[in-house]
Chain A
Amino acid sequence: MESAQTKDRIRRIIIYVILIIMAFIMLVPFAWMILTALKTNQEAISVDPFYIFPHNGWHWETFGEVWKSYNFVLLYKNTLLMILFRVICACLTATMAGYAFGRLEFPGRNFLFSLVLIQMMIPSTIFIIPQYLMVSSLGWLNTTAGLVFPGIVTAFGTYLLKTGYQGLPKDLEEAAGIDGCNIGQKFLLIMMPLTRSSMVSLGIFTALFAFKDLMWPMIVCSSVQTTTLAAGLAKAQGQYGSNYPQMMAAAVLAVVPMIVIYVIFQKQFVEGIATSGGKL
């Protein structure tokens, strides 16, 4: 009995040691990013002596400099608008289509849904050239509309919401039918509110995907004034690549908003990713 207890304790200690080492490895890049941002460039590129921490003052002013010189106000605004519109469009179109596929009977339903599944299997790289040409001929280059364009509808979200609607009990809808609701009212008043958790998953998934995407904003919004955080960083790296504290300060500014949102809505994030899986 006692040896089993000691064994259990030793095992737990080993697990803790592994977890702490892994957590340390995961955090080193974040720590180094912040520490570098707070140094002067001389300190950052000093090898002998090598400084882990800034040794003559913590230079918070670098963040202010970067904020101005990289146009962070615009980068935040552009990214936020893109995410907002994409989330609204994706949730709206997907919840409607998901309800129809999951709950309504109509000729051709299975065929149309198979198209949704086929889209999910095609790598999205194949869509990029014609999508770019369309945005360009619509005159939407360097606009929010251009950034939002490929995300107006979502096959994956439709699939996710269809599963959500199918999971709801059948008698709910029948009771509403007796009360004289038509299908539109039933959907809006009864069914849609019940799929809130699937909608939150889709919203988080859409926002994360849009936030992380690099190639599309680089292609359609080449100007610094109209582009997103990710593409803005890529541009900045090309221009100011050798001023390391500035680069790291820019990286901090780019990742901090999403990290704050993640820490606040952690449960929804983790559940959203776990249920949606998806193609991130």
Chain B
Amino acid sequence: MKEKKKMTLRAKKEALWGYAFVAPTMLGLIILNFYPAINTVYQSFCKTGDFGKGNTFVGLANYQKAFADPEIWQSLLNTVKYAVIEVPLGVVIALLLAVFLNNNKLKGVSAFRTIFFLPMVCAPAAVAMVWKWLYNQQFGLFNNILHKNIAWISDPKIAWISVGIIGVWSIIGYNMVLFISGLKEIPGDYYEAASIDGATGINQFFNITVPLLSPTTFFIVQTRVIGALTIFDLMFMVMDKTNAALPKVQSTVYVFYKYTFDQGNKGYGAAIVMILVAFIMLVTVVMQRAEKRFVFYN
């Protein structure tokens, strides 16, 4: 009896310490994240008054407006098109580089790794400025070397590809580092056994590396898909407001920024975010389903 009481006192003390330790984080999450998330939902049903002051409840009006607005649909399509370039190219190139660099016999591995990772430590704002200059139609490096007059970022047909390439260039190093740490966890004896059986390097890559690396690959694909669907910086920095290709390149977050903070229409901005979040949730669910089928856990 005495023993039990002592235990509960200790347990009580431990619980008090526990609450005290999680209190700052939980309070912060409620104030900074959970309340804002709910507030955004509420605002999406409101109309923002003049000068951004005062909310009046308007029901689904913002959503009706957004669903009828071709600009919103186009921006979702643009965002998906950006992801379709960035994610597969970024993942495949990074995987190849990781396999090459995960080789102890090769000299200069760390120098290559440093170079490939370099864009990761640069602000996208600066990266985008440099690429915009490289793409410059009159004076840019690319057109001068190719002796062409390509409107890389103002021709609506190719501008989305040009922006996507910047995204791929920026993300390769990050994906590569994650792949290398995934590769290190594959036991070396698998490869030794395969070599004895006479499997070639390419055979080993497809029969050992790809399946055993699939949890890492899935993790990278999932984080990059979500990252790509919320892309903003590149579009904002590369595309001038007067750029003719802007409607075919601007991402949904870009449109959200424009309505919310340039034009002060927070209600409409909130509705745009809600549509994007719903879309991202849908994509996440589809990916979770795919995980069960394609990812190999041992």
9-residue interface stretch from A53-61, A65-73, A193-201, A250-258: A250-258
Q: How many A-B residue pairs have CB under 8 A?
A: 269
B17 with A280: CB separation less than 8 A: no
A104 with B257: CB separation less than 8 A: no
9-residue interface stretch from B24-32, B67-75, B82-90, B203-211: B24-32
Given known contacts A122-B37, A231-B125, A233-B123, is B32 in contact with A106 (CB within 8 Å)? no
B277 with A125: CB separation less than 8 A: yes
A20 to B126 alpha-carbon distance, docked (Å): 24
- B51 contacts the other chain (Cβ, under 8 Å)? no
A280 with B227: CB separation less than 8 A: yes
B277 with A126: CB separation less than 8 A: yes
Partner of A50, one of B14, B144, B201, B253: B144
Min CB distance B279 to A, Å, is 10
Chain A interface mostly helix, strand, loop or mixed? helix
Residue count of chain A within 8 Å CB distance of chain B: 99
9-residue interface stretch from B57-65, B108-116, B151-159, B290-298: B108-116
List CB contacts (< 8 Å) of A262-278 with chain B. Answer: 262-263, 266, 269-270, 273-275, 277-278
Partner of B35, one of A130, A231, A273: A130
Min CB distance A90 to B, Å, is 10
B36 with A126: CB separation less than 8 A: yes
B11 with A105: CB separation less than 8 A: yes
B144 with A47: CB separation less than 8 A: yes
B219 with A273: CB separation less than 8 A: no
**Could you say which residues of chain A place their CB within 8 Å of the CB of B35?**
130
- B236 contacts the other chain (Cβ, under 8 Å)? yes
List CB contacts (< 8 Å) of B193-247 with chain A. Answer: 201, 219, 223, 226-227, 229-230, 232-233, 236-237
A270 with B125: CB separation less than 8 A: no
List CB contacts (< 8 Å) of B1-54 with chain A. Answer: 11, 13-15, 17-19, 21-22, 24-29, 31-37, 39-40, 43
B126 with A254: CB separation less than 8 A: yes
A68 to B135 alpha-carbon distance, docked (Å): 28
Partner of B177, one of A94, A122, A274: A274
A112 with B123: CB separation less than 8 A: no
**Could you say which residues of chain A place their CB within 8 Å of the CB of B266?**
129, 133
Partner of B21, one of A44, A96, A219, A229: A96
Min CB distance A114 to B, Å, is 12
Q: Which residue of B has the minimal Cβ distance to A109?
A: B18
Q: Which residue of B has the minimal Cβ distance to A14?
A: B100
List CB contacts (< 8 Å) of B92-116 with chain A. Answer: 93, 96-97, 100-101, 103, 105-106, 110, 112-116
A270 to B131 alpha-carbon distance, docked (Å): 25
Q: Which residue of B has the minimal Cβ distance to A44?
A: B139
Min CB distance A84 to B, Å, is 17
A106 to B124 alpha-carbon distance, docked (Å): 43
A152 with B129: CB separation less than 8 A: no
A275 to B217 alpha-carbon distance, docked (Å): 15
**Could you say which residues of chain A place their CB within 8 Å of the CB of B11?**
105
Partner of B36, one of A116, A131, A155, A259: A131
Min CB distance A54 to B, Å, is 14
**Could you say which residues of chain B place their CB within 8 Å of the CB of A100?**
17-19, 21-22
Given known contacts A119-B29, A122-B37, A254-B125, is B138 in contact with A248 (CB within 8 Å)? no
- B282 contacts the other chain (Cβ, under 8 Å)? no
B19 with A93: CB separation less than 8 A: no
B277 with A233: CB separation less than 8 A: no
A105 with B139: CB separation less than 8 A: no
A237 to B105 alpha-carbon distance, docked (Å): 46
Partner of A104, one of B21, B25, B97, B122: B21
List CB contacts (< 8 Å) of B165-198 with chain A. Answer: 169, 172-174, 177-178, 180-181
A280 to B123 alpha-carbon distance, docked (Å): 12
A125 with B253: CB separation less than 8 A: yes
A30 with B118: CB separation less than 8 A: yes
- A180 contacts the other chain (Cβ, under 8 Å)? no
Residue among A19, A46, A94 with max Cβ neighbours from chain B (10 Å)? A19
Shortest 3 CB-CB distances between A and B: which pairs? A153-B28, A106-B18, A130-B36
17 interchain pairs, CB-CB under 8 A:
A15-B100, A15-B106, A22-B97, A32-B141, A96-B21, A97-B24, A153-B32, A158-B25, A182-B13, A184-B17, A237-B237, A247-B133, A251-B129, A261-B121, A263-B114, A273-B120, A280-B227
Extra pairs beyond A106-B14, A153-B25 (20, CB < 8 Å): A15-B106, A23-B116, A26-B169, A26-B172, A30-B130, A100-B17, A100-B21, A104-B15, A104-B17, A105-B15, A119-B29, A125-B230, A133-B266, A153-B27, A208-B121, A214-B233, A229-B126, A258-B121, A266-B114, A273-B178
Contacts from B to A (Cβ < 8 Å) = 11, 13-15, 17-19, 21-22, 24-29, 31-37, 39-40, 43, 93, 96-97, 100-101, 103, 105-106, 110, 112-127, 129-131, 133-134, 136, 138-139, 141, 144, 169, 172-174, 177-178, 180-181, 201, 219, 223, 226-227, 229-230, 232-233, 236-237, 253, 256-257, 260-261, 266, 269-270, 273-274, 276-277, 280, 284
